[in-house]
Homo-oligomer: A and B are copies of this chain.
């Protein structure tokens, strides 16, 4: 088996070739991937079935097994996702700015690929295809490390993709999978400073924290969403209920779902029973603050400090009464992960203040946090949602996988 370092070096070796591919060449390679996925559906689902059996034996949770599962329809969806990437405009070479400098030199600032992108993710085999395709479209080489639960599916998908792009004239090493699923291999990848330009962890808080702690390579943190919905004094409570239901229950396992509801004290007595009924009827468990508990007639679990800190990604909702918006902002500043935060209000000034003061990638007034998504924001496919402030914040489309370079053309100019 190749070492992680060897894989990264092979990636680096083809970086400049991949960076110079034309849009036509890249699209041809991507179409070749989509075609090969379609023509190998049964092989892929067979390999996946082995992952599923191993996962069942290892006692994986049902939700994890569902993420891991590939059916014919899901493989078809993977192929379609690659074709979506084909339709995205190639970001490379786009002129970002330009001017004629003193003495007549021409200065252009253009988009260029980032280089070699490492991506560490968990047990979703579709990420293997998504991430490699997006990286290729932006002229980048990808080095992927997926969860061990999906190793058979990932290995087969990567083998298929590599021969597909090679047939289309793109070096197979433009995409690589680290087949060693150990933690040591992950740490080795985090240390590949000379060969990797960026490392993007996609997954739970534990994975991301470990990458941030260990990486010597620049990291883009993604996806931890400890998000809040604040229901302001005088808010339209029907609207608040509908937004809460959507933000908590439409897809509780994703990072743009709401985890904590903050209610202005003046609305608590009216709104709390509504919340309790709406949530319980949808299977959502409440974890409430002391004041809430005192107000509710039916027994509920009481929240501890750790509830405010936790991204449940599950059918659980923490609820807290705040005495005013300042207290809500304080709570969000202390516990929020900078992903998606929302207010329901009918007060113009407080709506503006919330959007100005909350320090998060996406700040909503009177709509659901579930919209934080590359597709919804018009970026096309996304490689993740950045919760950091450097390089890119919020949904990361193709341009997040690029850098820039200045080209200066003269005829003998020197600096005075």
List residues of A whose CB falls within 8 A of some B CB.
Answer: 16, 19-20, 99, 101-102, 105, 107, 109, 112, 114-115, 193, 197-198, 212-213, 216, 218-220, 236, 239, 242-243, 245-247, 250, 333, 351, 355-357, 359-368, 370-372, 376-378, 388-391, 393-394, 403-415
- Contact: B390 with A406, CB < 8 Å? no
16 A-B Cβ contacts within 8 A?
A19-B359, A197-B389, A212-B216, A218-B390, A220-B390, A351-B409, A355-B407, A363-B406, A364-B409, A366-B412, A367-B408, A370-B415, A371-B415, A377-B406, A390-B390, A391-B391
Q: Please measure, in the bound complex, the distance between the C-alpha atom of A404 and the C-alpha atom of B351, giving whole angstroms.
A: 19
Copies, count: 2
Q: Please measure, in the bound complex, the distance between the C-alpha atom of A410 and the C-alpha atom of B85, giving whole angstroms.
A: 29
- Contact: A371 with B413, CB < 8 Å? yes
Q: Please measure, in the bound complex, the distance between the C-alpha atom of A216 and the C-alpha atom of B409, giving whole angstroms.
A: 39
**Nearest chain B CB to A120's CB is how many angstroms away?**
17
In this complex, what residue of B is CB-closest to A338? B405
- What residues of B have a CB within 8 angstroms of the CB of A250 in the complex? 414-415
- Contact: A390 with B198, CB < 8 Å? yes
Q: Please measure, in the bound complex, the distance between the C-alpha atom of A143 and the C-alpha atom of B393, giving whole angstroms.
A: 23
Which residue of A20, A371, A409 has the most chain B CB atoms within 10 A of its CB atom? A371
Partner of A16, one of B246, B359, B372: B359
Which residue of A219, A220, A388, A407 has the most chain B CB atoms within 10 A of its CB atom? A407
- Contact: A243 with B405, CB < 8 Å? no
In this complex, what residue of B is CB-closest to A357? B16
Q: Do A405 and B361 form a contact, CB below 8 Å, given A390-B218, A414-B243?
A: yes
- Contact: B409 with A366, CB < 8 Å? yes
- Contact: B409 with A365, CB < 8 Å? yes
| 4 tightest A-B CB contacts, nearest first | A367-B410, A246-B414, A389-B403, A370-B415
Q: Do A390 and B197 form a contact, CB below 8 Å, given A408-B363, A413-B368?
A: yes
- Contact: B406 with A101, CB < 8 Å? no
Which residue of A105, A112, A356, A405 has the most chain B CB atoms within 10 A of its CB atom? A405
Q: Do A359 and B412 form a contact, CB below 8 Å, given A219-B218, A389-B403?
A: no
- What residues of B have a CB within 8 angstroms of the CB of A101 in the complex? 371, 376-378
Which residue of A212, A219, A242, A364 has the most chain B CB atoms within 10 A of its CB atom? A364
- Contact: B389 with A406, CB < 8 Å? no
Q: Do A390 and B114 form a contact, CB below 8 Å, given A377-B107, A405-B363?
A: yes
- Contact: B16 with A412, CB < 8 Å? no
Q: Do A115 and B371 form a contact, CB below 8 Å, given A365-B409, A366-B409?
A: no
- Contact: B393 with A403, CB < 8 Å? yes
Partner of A394, one of B19, B363, B406: B406
- What residues of B have a CB within 8 angstroms of the CB of A406 in the complex? 361-363, 372, 377, 394
- Contact: A394 with B390, CB < 8 Å? no
